[in-house]
Amino acid sequence: MTLAERLRELRIQNAKRLKDVADAAGISVPYLSDLERGRTNPSMDTLQALARAYRISLQDLIAPVDFGGPSSSGPLPPGLAELAADPVLGPQLGPDWIASLSRIELRGRRPRTKDDWYEIFLHLRRVIPGEQR
């Protein structure tokens, strides 16, 4: 399932209009429509706002989404392989985090550097319940 499909599915399951969800999330109706059509990618802040609008966790919002990244047996994106191999930072990730991170795009682009990947990891670890350390 794509993120666009997931957002539309949630709205329909909750019997909400675009305007209802957009108002609850603090975004515009055209922007939400573009998200549901896959024309644009949301920021992490927007994903959090949408999760709050649906009264679910960010993890529940994105869990069924296939971000179209490589499979766990495929090569890791540039920078992520370097992060995973880092003797200090790599052990913090684990196979589940590496698989999840390898599927992420940020603002329509994939992170390129080890630092970019680590920043995303730290952010997600802070916002996903039960993942703080």
Residue 69 covered by a domain: no
Claim to verify: residue 52 and residue 85 sit in the same structural domain: no
What is the number of domains present in the chain? 2
- Kindly state the average pLDDT of the residues 100-129: 82
For 107-119, what is each residue's pLDDT tens digit?
Answer: 667 888 889 889 8
Percent of the chain residues past pLDDT 70, beyond the cut? 88
Which residue reads 């802070």 in tokens?
Answer: 126
Residue 44 covered by a domain: yes
- Kindly state the average pLDDT of the residues 89-116: 80
Other Cβ atoms less than 10 A from the Cβ of 70: the count is: 13
Per-residue model confidence (pLDDT) at position 72: 43
Claim to verify: residue 7 and residue 58 sit in the same structural domain: yes
Per-residue model confidence (pLDDT) at position 71: 44
**25 pLDDT more than 80:** yes
CB environment 17-30: b (16+ within 10 A), e (fewer): ebeebbeebebeee
For 40-62, what is each residue's pLDDT tens digit?
Answer: 888 888 988 999 999 998 888 88
Tell me the residue range of the domain where 95 lies: 80-127
- Kindly state the average pLDDT of the residues 67-96: 74
